[in-house]
Amino acid sequence: METTVTNQETNKHIRELERMKTDFVSIASHQLRTPLTAINWYVEMLLSGDAGQLTQDQRSYLQEIEISTKRMVTLVNDLLNVSRIETGRLKIEPVSIDIVAFAKDVIHELMPWAQAKSCSIKLNVSQESLPYIPIDASLMRQVIDNLLTNAIRYSSPLKECDIALTLTLQNEGIAPEANDPFVPSSSLIIAVSDKGIGIPQESQPRIFEKFFRADNAATTEVRGSGLGLYLAKMIVEASGGKIWFESQEGEGATFYVAIPMQGMVKKAGERGLIV
Amino acid sequence: MEKILIVEDEWSILKALGEKFTREGFQVLKTIDGRQGLEIALREHPDIILLDVIMPNVDGLAMLKVLREDAWGKNAPVIILTNLTDTEKLNASTQMSGYEYLVKSDWKIADVVSKVKAKLAQAHSKKTAPPETS
């Protein structure tokens, strides 16, 4: 009897510690976002010439600040979402959006960093008219952003850094896994491919684990947090989708995300919002 | 010249927005507190209000609630501007009429300006639309 009471008390104590940890992450994330927003906005104003003409060096230094603060925002968002996932508070709020415009926007946001690393990001769309897709834009932005960020971060110093973001429909056979029974039968497939350092065979089974980093990742100049792929998997699966990859060490990697398209509408002349 | 009221307790954010909207040709009214924000809004009748959520004294949602009880304020265009990621609090705000929000850290300041202009255009078109006849 005494043992049972002690166990109950221990469990209660653990739950309380978990709650405190979650609250701390949530508050810290919120408090970090405000100064980061201010930095981003002032840098944006300076770069857009609001305070006068800039020299080439001034512009270049500001672009470095811009890239770094964006990475910090991503990290803070990642931490916040990990906290939400682990406490069951992650909410998926899908809205039908123009997926091509959305993808262009995500790429546009990453371009300063990509250019600084001499990387190109090409958008391939399999057909002229893609449907509007019901997704949680904020969370899906985080998924694609994390995949593209990895593609840039783990580019090979020995090869051209050519990255491709491809949007295609499930039945177009972009990858054999797209016909996997666990992939929703009607899906949009988002593929991010690179020619980077790739993922060693022995690291592949653990690549979606929290804080896991492949052995060869330590050789790159920028350390990742080890949260990006973990979060991508959590978000995609919470959205009813699936994520997987193909990779060979030294040859690059392709990550695939399948998003179910229930409620889709064909993109016709006018923008329509249909869920 | 269109008049914008910015209610935001974070000085650096308030200053950035104030300078950006001034540069965009707006008459800018600004304050760091919801109580003062309400007073200014009811006195000056701005064309649009940018409203932070978490503020000392009277927070943004409390200010919005009182504003919506006023004859002018019930239809005043408001955009809730927040870094708040607490969905419960945001969901509470959705129960109020005229609600629209953006999460500051997800937006560029140029996009905030675009959003405000779009909201103003929407408000103008409502005002100038002919009354519906049965």
Look up the pTM and report it.
0.71
Residue A41 Cα, gap to closest chain B Cα (Å):
6
d(CA A208, CA A147): 12
Q: What's the pLDDT tens digit per position in B113-122?
A: 999 999 999 8
* Facing residue for B83 by CB, picked from A30, A48, A91: A30
Sign of the CA dihedral running B34, B36, B39, B43: negative
- pLDDT number for residue B95: 56
Centroid of chain to Cα A194 = 15
Contact (CB, 8 A) for A246 and A168: no
Q: What's the pLDDT tens digit per position in A90-106?
A: 888 888 888 898 999 89
Q: What's the pLDDT tens digit per position in A223-272?
A: 677 888 999 999 999 888 899 999 999 899 999 999 887 644 444 333 22
φ, ψ (nearest 5 deg) of residue A247: -160, 150
- Interhelix angle A228-238/A137-153, nearest 10 degrees: 150
Contact A73 B105 (CB under 8 A): yes
Which strand (E) or helix (H) includes residue A98? strand A95-98
Q: What's the pLDDT tens digit per position in A27-83?
A: 777 778 889 999 999 999 999 999 999 999 999 999 999 988 888 888 888 888 888
Percent of chain B with pLDDT over 70: 84
Q: Given a cut of 60, is residue B130 above it in pLDDT?
A: yes
DSSP letter for A171, please: G
Q: Given a cut of 90, is residue B35 above it in pLDDT?
A: yes
Q: What's the pLDDT tens digit per position in A118-131?
A: 899 999 997 767 77
Strands (E), B8-132: 27-31, 48-52, 78-82, 101-103
- pLDDT number for residue A272: 28
- pLDDT number for residue B70: 95
Q: Indicate the residue type of B25.
A: G
Contact A30 B84 (CB under 8 A): yes
Number of other residues whose CB lies within 10 A of the CB of residue B22:
13
pLDDT band for position B16 (50/70/90)? very high
pLDDT band for position A133 (50/70/90)? confident
More confident residue, A190 or A265: A190
Q: Given a cut of 60, is residue A18 above it in pLDDT?
A: yes
Contacts of B106 in chain A (CB under 8 A): 138
What token pair was written down for A111?
Answer: 């371009």
Q: Given a cut of 80, is residue A199 above it in pLDDT?
A: yes
Q: How would you label B89-99 residue by residue, b for 16+ Cβ within 10 Å and e otherwise?
A: ebeebeeeebe
Q: Given a cut of 70, is residue A84 above it in pLDDT?
A: yes
- pLDDT number for residue A263: 46
DSSP letter for B61, please: H
Contact (CB, 8 A) for B67 and B78: yes
Q: What's the pLDDT tens digit per position in A166-181?
A: 998 875 544 445 455 4
d(CA B6, CA B127): 22
Residue A50 Cα, gap to closest chain B Cα (Å):
8
Contact A29 B19 (CB under 8 A): no
